[in-house]
Amino acid sequence: MSGNRTFTMIKPDAVENGVSGAILKQIQEAGFKIIALKQTKLSLEQASKFYFIHRERPFYADLCAFMSSGPIFPAILEKENAVEDFRKLIGATNPANADAGTIRKNFAESIDKNAIHGSDSDENAVIESNFFFSELERF
Ligand code: GDP
C-alpha cells in the first residue's frame, strides 16, 4: 500500500524561467496539499549527497552541477497515492517524451533541465523530505 506523501523540487531552470508559481498552481489544482515549502540553493557538495544514488550514472557530475547552479523550491506534498500520482503529473524524464499537459511538457526544456523532481518511492520520499525539512517546517 502506497503512502500519502511525496517530495518535489522545482529545479533551477524553472526558477530562473519564472514559472515556479505556475508549477505550484498546477500542483495544487491536481489535488496536492503543500505540507512544506521553501526557497534555497544547494552547494555542489549538498547536491552530490542528495543525488548519491545516481553516482554511477554518466550524467552524475552534470546533474550535481546543474542542481547547485541556482535557487530551487523543495516541497513536501500530500495526497492519496502521492508518489505515483505525482510522477504521472510531472511526466517523463525527457520532456520530449512527456504526455501533453504534464508539468515537464508544459515547463521543461530538456532531459537535464527538466523543471521538476518527484520522488520515485515512498521510502525515497521520506529520505528526501528529511534532507531538506525539519519537523518545525511541516504543516
Ligand atoms: P527522474 O526520476 O524522472 O527525475 O529521472 P532519473 O531518476 O532517471 O534522473 C534523475 C535526473 O537526472 C533527471 O530528472 C534529470 O535531471 C537528470 N538526467 C537524467 N538523464 C540525464 C541525461 O541523460 N543527461 C543529463 N545531463 N541529465 C540527466
Give the domain ranges of the chain: 5-41+71-137
62 Cβ inside 6 Å of ligand 1:
yes
Q: Which fold has domain 5-41+71-137?
A: Alpha-Beta Plaits (3.30.70)
- Ligand 1: atom nearest CA of 67 is 16
H or E element: which one contains 76? strand 73-78
pLDDT less than 70: residues of the chain? 1-2
Active-site residue (options: 9, 117, 125, 133): 117
63 Cβ inside 6 Å of ligand 1:
yes
Helices (H) and strands (E) in the chain, counts: 7, 4
Partners of residue 75 on adjacent β-strands: 8, 37
pLDDT at 116: 98
pLDDT at 1: 45
d(CA 97, CA 41): 28
What the block records as the C-alpha cell of 130 is 528529511
Give the predicted TM-score (pTM) of the model. Answer: 0.96
What does the pLDDT look like over 33-64, one tens digit per residue? 999 999 999 999 999 999 999 999 999 999 99
Q: Report which of 65, 40, 67, 44 is spatially closest to residue 132, judged by C-alpha positions.
A: 40
